[in-house]
Every structure is written in C-alpha cells, then in structure tokens.
Structure 1
C-alpha cells in the first residue's frame, strides 16, 4: 500500500495541480452564475440522469443502457440549448473582465500623458434631477446605462431617439399618458438612444416576490450585459440600482448620484 501511494505521488506533476485549480475556478464561475436560478434544478436533473445511466450500464441492463446512451450521445447539444443564457452570461463575464483590464490600462496611459479629463457631472445632473422628480411624483421609470449601443438588440425593441439626456425629456417619456412610458430608456454616453425598449426578465429564484416587472427587467439586462439599470418604483417612488444581476434598493438621489459618478 505504501509503495502504491509513492507511485501515485511520484506521477503527480505541477501541471496536474494547475489543471485541478483551473477546473475548480471554472466550476466556481459556473456555480456563481447559475446560483439561485432554475438552471440549478436542471443541472441536478442532468446529474441524476447520468447517474442512472451509469447504474443501468453497470448492471448490464442493455435496453435501458441503449435508451439512456442515446440521450447522452446528443447531450452536449441539449445542454447548449438549455443553458444558452448561462453560457452567454459566462462569456460576457469573461469579456467584461478583459475589457475592464484594457480600459484600466488605457486610463493609466492617458493619465501618464496628462491629457484633459472630461467632467461628466454636468451631464449626469439632469438625469439625477429627473429621477428625484419622478421619485417624488411616483412616476415609474427604467433607465439603462450601457457602454455600447447594440442597434440590433435595443433599436429592434424600442423607438430610436438619439438625443441628449435632459430632465424634461426623461419626464416626458415616462409620463403615464406618454406612448413611450412602458419600457426602458437606453442611455449611452449621456444620450438617450432609444425609449420603450423591451428587456429580458431575470429568472433568478432568489428575488423578493414583491419586485415588479421593471425591477426584474433591470436585473435581467445586467445579468447578460455590463449595463447599469436605474429603477423608479411606480408604487412607492423608491429608487433602485441594478448591476451584475444584483439590486441595491431604497437609494436617495444623492446616493444614486454618487454611485453613477463612480460607475460612469
């Protein structure tokens, strides 16, 4: 037994340790992305299905082995179809991390060149004032701050505007009798690109049941993109902010302004 242990340890390389660590990181990333969603139940079902297949194969039950084996042979395609949302979210996280590192590098490079920095406080102020005003009047609103304008996605589900973000324009859009009030406003570089855009709803099971469609849409769009969403509740006037699939509720206008300054 002692000789067997020594043989196993002698064949264990540094690359094997790195291999195990990389697999553990991938598993952790996947778990963090599907945690609290219906995908967890699907994954458990897939694991049980594969476990039953191994049992019937070991017991040499030929008919069941053939049936289960047929499903498993196309299992990779089925998993891609079932988990397409999670796969997209996983790839988005990877791309976002690479993008953030590139932006940090460019930012440090520009600072070393002592180039002028654009102050966005004046551009952000009308948006904060609009959120404060809509909060007081309990006007429901959903604002999505995106770093890039995906025309195929946003424009196909909304009305194209492309105008500077102003307090009056935002209040007009979300006025309850306005034809554009139902949906999200997409803001890129402090310009309102589209209004009345339809967003994907979050399927997370960890969300409080009292959250409405606006909150679930805000969380949903931040799960699949690097956008930031601001919500004004129509029922309570409460201001909330969603980022990376998480929501920060009951914010004051000052707290919202502070967060948006750091993020934008």
Structure 2
C-alpha cells in the first residue's frame, strides 16, 4: 500500500541474531539478580523514573531539577550500587566461554589424560572429611576458589598453605580447635587458610534455620567465583552454595560430581 513503509517488518538473519543476543543477556541478568537485593534496587530505580516522568508532565520545576541532578550521575551510581552483580556477571561470562567449558578436552589433547582421576584424588579427602563430620555433627564451611585473593582472604584468616588432608580438615573443625570458627579456603590444590571471616549474604528470603555458616557460604559465592560446602552442626546435612544459590541435602555422590565439575 502506498504511504506505508513495511521495512520494519522484514526479518533478517542479523535481526534474529540481535534478538537472540538480547534474550541471552536478559537471561543472564535475570539469573544474577534473582532472589537478591538487586531486584529491590531496580524496582526503586523504576519508581524514580516514573516519578520523573510525572513531575516533568506536571511541570514541577523544583522537584524535576532535583531528580534530573540525581539521574545525571546515574551511570556512576549504577556501577557503585551494582558492583557485586557486575563482577559476578563478568565471572559468569568467563566461566561459560567455549574454552572454559571444553578445557578438559584441551587438556586431553595436550597430554593431560588423567584430569578426572587427578580431580578425584584432590576432592576425595574433602568428601571423606565431610562424611566423618556429618556422622559426628561437626559444623564446617569449606570454600573452593580458583584464584586466591590475598586481600579478601589472607587479611582475615590464619594462613596454612598445606596439602589437602582429611585429618587436617577434621582437626580444624573440631569444636575445641581455635580455628573451628570461620571457613577453610582451598585453592591451587592446597588448604590455603583457615578461620576465615567471610561476608554474609544480604538475601532476606533465606529460611530462618540458616545460621552464620550457611549465610557466609552463600555470601562468598555471591561476591566471588567461589563455591562453598557447608556441613550443618545441627543436622549434619551437606549444603552446596554457588553463585548466591544453595543446594540442600546434597549426597556425597552429588557432592563429588559438583566439585569435579566446578573445580
């Protein structure tokens, strides 16, 4: 028909690719902010935008000037407010790249044929220690990190830098041990430190039965690429925290698969 331009209805491969990338981006952002305080922050920002449109429409010059000044520093404010989420987003992208997902195959091609066996040998002492602590109802928090952050861990921990050992883990978390409070951090195939004070999660939707160990394990997984294994002192049950989410009542078979996959 004359007078009408239907070019915007044309679907091109580039347009489909564009929509696909936007959908993936929205999915990642949703996964990052789901069940976190970032949802409330975004809601607050949306309300401010609605108020801004309203005061502009009503010609409230004073209030409009105040809100416009606030919005003028919006980008900097977003970076400051959402710094943990931005960090997690970049870590999530890095962990899901092709090379990361296929590093086992690359290792195989370059001669590391025993990666799974080596991983199991490193993980087995941790699983054995968890079995023992589950029986004795000994509370424990074991954090696995790929890159040891001296500023985050060493300043609030007792440095150990020892081989991963079932007996060492059990002795650290014994109730009479001076190091039993706090977390053990494992990195670079070693027990790097113990008695670590970790940031607690701000998530207010967690079950009330979650104690400091669970909240610390979830908190460190929110702000870093770490995963945390938590042994409940009350029930002996095993929990696994990753990316701010916690998986309860994990069996030892599941724990082995999760640790082997993530580390």
Q: Does the TM-score normalized on the shorter chain lie above 0.5?
A: yes
Contact 2:180 2:195 in 1 (8 A): yes
Cα displacement string for residues 5-51 of structure 1 (whole angstroms, at most 9, x for unaligned residues) = 526447x8665554444334333322221121222122111111111
Matched residues in 1 for 2:82 and 2:215: separation?
19
Map of 1:88 onto structure 2: 87
Alignment CA distance shift 1:79-1:14 (3 Å): same
Q: Which stretch has the larger CA shift, 166-175 or 204-213?
A: 204-213
Deviation per CA, 1:164-216, whole angstroms, max 9, x where unpaired? 11122111111112221111101124311000112222223442221111112
Deviation at 1:73, TM superposition (A): 1.0
1:117 maps onto 2:114 in alignment: yes
Aligned to 1:74: 73
SS at structure 2 position matched to 1:203: coil
Give, in angstroms, the shift of residue 105 of structure 1: 4.4
1:3-18 → structure 2 map (5 Å cutoff): 3-6=3-6, 8-9=8-9, 15=14, 18=17
Q: In 1, Cα distance between the equivalents of 2:211 and 2:2?
A: 62
Structure 1 gap ranges (5+): none
Map residues 172-251 of structure 1 onto 2, 5 A cutoff: 172-251=171-250
Indicate the SS of the match to 1:161.
Answer: strand
Residue 113 of structure 1, CA deviation: 4.4
Aligned equivalents of 1:204, 1:5: Cα separation in 2: 50
Give the aligned length.
261
1:56 and 1:19, CA in 2 relative to 1: closer, same or farther beyond 3 A? farther
Shift of 1:228: 2.1
Q: Does the 8 Å contact 2:84/2:222 carry over to 1? A: no
> What secondary structure is seen at the aligned counterpart in 2 of 1:3?
coil
Q: Could you tell which deviates more after superposition, 34-43 or 14-23?
A: 14-23
- Relative to 1, partners in 2 of residues 1:7 and 1:249: Cα closer, same or farther, differing over 3 Å? closer
**Does structure 2 retain, via aligned residues, the 8 Å contact 1:92–1:224?**
no
TM-score (normalised: structure 2):
0.87
How far the C-alpha of 1:227 sits from its partner, in A, is 2.2
Structure 2: unaligned runs, 5 residues or longer: none
Structure-2 change in CA distance of 1:19 and 1:127 (3 Å): closer
In structure 2, what is the equivalent of residue 102 of structure 1?
99
Is the Cα–Cα contact under 8 Å of residues 140 and 233 in structure 2 kept in the other structure? yes
Q: What residue in structure 1 maps to residue 33 of structure 2?
A: 34
Which position in structure 1 is the counterpart of 2:141?
A: 142
Query: Using the alignment, how far apart are the partners of 1:32 and 1:47 within structure 2?
Result: 19
Q: What's the C-alpha RMSD, in Å, of the aligned pairs?
A: 2.5
